[in-house]
Structure 1
């Protein structure tokens, strides 16, 4: 069997590695000419780590991952700790430590595992079509490629999704902008082995450790979509937006590099149940564009990759049965994560001020039990983390 994967992001490469494991002939096509991940880092929760372990990358991801021993929430203006608790109960329950990982390093790890020289860069897909015996992909340079199966891992703005669904869909603006980047660890900002989140006024400022003594940071700023922004002005913008926040936040703003700080308008997509059309299937953000509020977007894409491997392995002589099994295994689970992230987004960012105020009050009485229960609820339910 020959499979063509469109997109060399986390989902596409995870799928490529997974399918190679079972002897499938895989070709990966990517429109960009070099590795330029969007965003500074990613929270790879235990379900995602288990997927990477399954792909033979256990040692590599552990080397790249930051060690998070505790979580805390801190009151925005006073800097007082609202709650702090150990991550160990979660690790004990699900059997795997989660890892925050620098996105570029994770991407490079996946590329090396698949084979960087085997990725076809600079290939912008413009059309896909299905046939009785094969599917065909057309590229902007006039070339075409055929395969038994085409996997659309072409991201949130997926063109293959339009083909599968029969037309375009509109993504929903989640109501906030995320500024993110990497800074050296400084305990004036937060403890070196803690995921620290400052909260107040419907906003978040968060740091978590990644490898090489760095914090991954992000600022969530509710604002209208389409606000003008000049790249390189992140420090000025954030200093104004968070002028009255605690000294740790001020230190973070002082330390960040405006030239490398990313600004991303956060959007998601209503869940849908059709991921397959003939010999064409969706995977990753193309299938379930998710806000980052529960840290499951990338993990869900990795789950897709493993589920696709399982489906093809279980139906080696019937592609359509395999794709039906893949779709059945993933649509409900992935769609549920989209909606959970959306619900958490609305509470975190003050869509209903009373609910947000109630959440802040609950955090002051939290011993970790409720928060970790929620995180475990997100982790379980995938192909390697049965509920």
Structure 2
């Protein structure tokens, strides 16, 4: 088939690689004039890594991933360790390590694996026409493209989603803002081979190791939506939000680079079950935009990509049948992940003070 993918993010690129391996002609259309990483890093948990292993990228992902051997929660105010345990039993149970990776490194790997010549930049899709034998994409520059199938991997603000559902889904503010970036590993802040999370007051400060001796860090603060985003004030804002916190948190704030730090208001969308219409199908955030609270946004997009490619390859009752099988395989699982992340978000960010404080206390007896 001649397949068009809209969106050159993790899900779109993974789908493109998988579909090419099955012999399809695939072109990715990306609205950005140049590829810029959104967010500093991504949590590739074991299920996401397995998707990339399936594509033959095992060695490359190991080279990009951080050596994350243990997990710890620390009281952000008094620096007492609440729990600390090895991740090895989890890895052995599921058969694969997790690899936090710098987003730019992963995206570059996937683009090279897919083929830069088949990624068309500066192509903003404006409209979709679905016909009996093809789908037609209309772009901002006036050009049109026909394909046998359109895969909408165009993210949380998806145009493709509106076409499939017939209405625009409103994003829901999750109640907190996230600052994130990369710094050189510093064991005065956190152990080099550990995922360390400082918690307190409904806030969170987390560090995960990635390749090249770097930590991926993020700060979560429950504040109202729509406040000014002033990059040169990031350190001042964070010092204010974490003024009574322990020394390692302040050391992290002192050493971050404001110009390379991202600030994101966190949203999700209400789950829905229809992932396709005609010759148009959704994948990743376009289908199930979630908060990052359980680290499954990118991983679920990769699962989508593999299941979609396999559904198209192994089912022979036509395109509609294959898309329906993909939809029915994925919608319950992704709905569960969106709602699980939302529940974790509410506990972590103190939507109910009693519930969050009970969770803090439970961490002292948590054995992983």
TM over 0.5: yes
Q: How does 1:120-131 map to 2 (within 5 A)?
A: 120-131=120-131
Matched residue SS, 1:51:
helix
- Write out the 4+ residue segments of structure 1 that deviate beyond 3 Å after TM superposition: none
Instruction: Give the distance between the partners of 2:61 and 2:216, measured in 1 at CA.
Output: 16
Residue 254 of structure 1 aligns to a residue whose secondary structure is helix
3-state SS in 1 of match to 2:293: helix
The answer for the alignment partner of 2:142 in structure 1 is 142
Q: 1 CA distance for matches of 2:117 and 2:277?
A: 30
Match of 1:217 in 2: 217
Match of 2:311 in 1: 311
State the match for 2:118 in structure 1: 118
The 5-angstrom pairing of residues 341-360 of structure 1 reads: 341-360=341-360
Q: 1: CA distance between counterparts of 2:267 and 2:224?
A: 12
The match for 1:380 is: none
- Superposition RMSD on alpha carbons, in Å? 0.7
- Which position in structure 1 is the counterpart of 2:252? 252
The 5 A counterparts of 1:240-319 are 240-316=240-316, 318-319=318-319
Equivalence for 1:64: 64
Cα deviations by residue, 1:255-275 (Å, 9 ceiling, x for unpaired): 100111100000000110011
TM-score by length of 2: 0.99
State how far apart, in whole Å, the 2-side matches of 1:185 and 1:34 are.
29
Cα distance in 2 for partners of 1:14, 1:232 equals 36
CA–CA distance in structure 2, aligned partners of residues 326 and 232 of structure 1:
45
8 Å Cα contact 1:204-1:219 kept in structure 2? yes
Equivalent residues of 1:178, 1:265 under 8 A apart:
yes
| Aligned residue runs from structure 1 range 1-387, under 5 A | 1-316=1-316, 318-368=318-368
CA distance in 1, matches of 2:261, 2:72: 24
Distance 2:6 2:14 in 1: 12
TM-score of the superposed pair, with normalisation by structure 1: 0.94
2:293–2:342: 8 Å Cα contact kept in structure 1?
yes
**Distance between the aligned counterparts of 1:339 and 1:243, measured in 2?**
32
Offset at residue 228 of structure 1 (A): 1.1
Distance 2:349 2:235 in 1: 21
TM superposition shift of 1:129: 1.4
What is the rounded CA distance, in whole Å, between the counterparts of 1:232 and 1:133 in structure 2? Answer: 53
Q: CA offset at residue 56 of structure 1?
A: 1.2
Unmatched runs of 5 consecutive residues or more in structure 2: none
Could you give the per-residue CA deviations for residues 154-210 of structure 1, whole angstroms, max 9, x where no partner exists?
Answer: 000000100000011101000000000000000011000000000000000000100
| CA distance, structure 2, for counterparts of residue 365 and residue 231 of structure 1 | 39
Q: Secondary structure at the match of 2:48?
A: helix
Contact 2:26-2:118 at 8 Å conserved across structures? no
Per-residue CA deviations over 1:17-58 (Å, capped at 9, x if unaligned) read 010111111111000111111100010000000001111111
Contact 1:35 1:104 in 2 (8 A): no
Q: Count residues in correspondence.
A: 368
Q: Is 1:232–1:261's contact at 8 Å kept on the other side of the alignment?
A: no
C-alpha deviation, 1:117, in angstroms = 2.4
Residues 276 and 324 in structure 1, CA contact (< 8 A), matched pair in contact too: yes
Q: Which runs of 5+ in 1 are unaligned?
A: 369-387
Q: Match of 1:381? A: none
Question: Partners of 1:317 and 1:27 in 2: how far apart?
Answer: 25
- How far apart, CA to CA, are the structure 1 residues paired with 2:266 and 2:50? 27
Measure, in 1, the Cα distance between the counterparts of 2:77 and 2:309. Answer: 48
* Structure 2 CA distance for aligned equivalents of residues 256 and 305 of structure 1: 35
Give, in whole Å, the separation in 2 of the partners of 1:25 and 1:316: 18
What secondary structure does 1:292 align onto?
coil
